[in-house]
Structure 1
Amino acid sequence: MPNQGATPQTEILDELECWRLLRGVSLGRLAVWVEDHPDIFPVNYTVDRDTLVFRTGSGTKLAAVAGDTPLALEADGVNAASGIAWSVVLKGQAAEVEPTGEFLDSVARVLFPWQPGRKDHFVRIVPTTITGRRFAVEHPKAWWISLDEATRAGLE
């Protein structure tokens, strides 16, 4: 019988498993530095060799990746049947890609915008590090605290 107070095991993933998981989803959160603060944007992406590519319009994301400031992208998933989740974080540099014929025929073909508007810029993230974890999702009841069980001192 498992120890009810035990902390679930977290599996540290190797680079190959991180790439395999990234290939299985297409939505991540891009973290960039904008002027004097961090900002996060959802982006749909595709894996191209050992890089990630996303498309965007002119604006904050494109301006943020134009400089030398590193960025991060996080993607995750969960298997509802098994309760096993994973999270992968990729850190690196990004640069706009010139959309050549070969690029448009292969990579760009699978990247279509989720929102209306011009998204005619392609950005490639070249990672310097990629890390990931896999873990069991704790049952939601473990997060709940009934008011009957809570300390009443704060309420009186």
Structure 2
Amino acid sequence: MGTEHMEELTPDACWQLLAQHEYGRLAYVLDGEVNIVPINHAVVDGQIAFETGQGSKLLGIDEQVTVAYEVDDITAEQGTSVVVRGFVVSLEGDEAKAAEQDVHPWIGTAKIETMAIVPSTVTGRRYTFPRD
């Protein structure tokens, strides 16, 4: 696949895809091991907000440690991927309440922590699949 089938997304297009999708994959390092977990999210005030439950490995993420979050959209004709790199912070007070209204968990387990990825970079690409 040559570069004629790949398009770099603008920052606005990246944020639009992030806002349209509720689910993605968070990659982080904990205790020297790389972990990738599916999470649901909401875009809130330029951050990627999510909730986590008791006993979650995500609670072990140190604030200010770099993480990556990826959301994709794949059809028969094209695939789009957006990657957010940044660090995780705990949300509290009004910030947490605002995020909790927009985040819709997959399962009904109790969530005890509202967190957000503060982006340092947001990049995206769209690949058009060549037709034979």
TM tier, smaller: 0.7 to 0.9
Partner of 1:91: 85
CA-based RMSD: 2.0
SS of structure 1 residue aligned to 2:111: coil
Specify whether residues 36 and 136 from structure 1 end up closer, same or farther in structure 2 by C-alpha distance, changes over 3 A only: same
SS of the counterpart of 1:109? helix
Name the counterpart of 1:131: 123
Calculate percent identity across the aligned residue pairs. Answer: 30
Q: Between Structure 1 and Structure 2, whose CA radius of gyration is higher?
A: 1
- Which segments of 5 or more consecutive residues in structure 1 lack a partner in the other structure? 1-5, 143-156
Map 1:3-152 → 2, pairs under 5 A = 7=2, 9-58=5-54, 59-64=56-61, 66-80=62-76, 83-100=77-94, 103-104=96-97, 106-137=98-129
Normalised by the length of structure 2, the TM-score is: 0.87
Change (3 A) 1:133 1:123: same
Contact 1:68 1:93 in 2 (8 A): yes
What is the TM-score with the length of structure 1 in the denominator?
A: 0.75
Instruction: Give the secondary-structure state (helix, strand or coil) at the position aligned to 1:23.
Output: helix
Alignment deviations for residues 110-133 of structure 1 (CA, whole Å, 9 cap, x no partner): 213212321121101110011100
Instruction: Report deviation, 1:103.
Output: 4.5
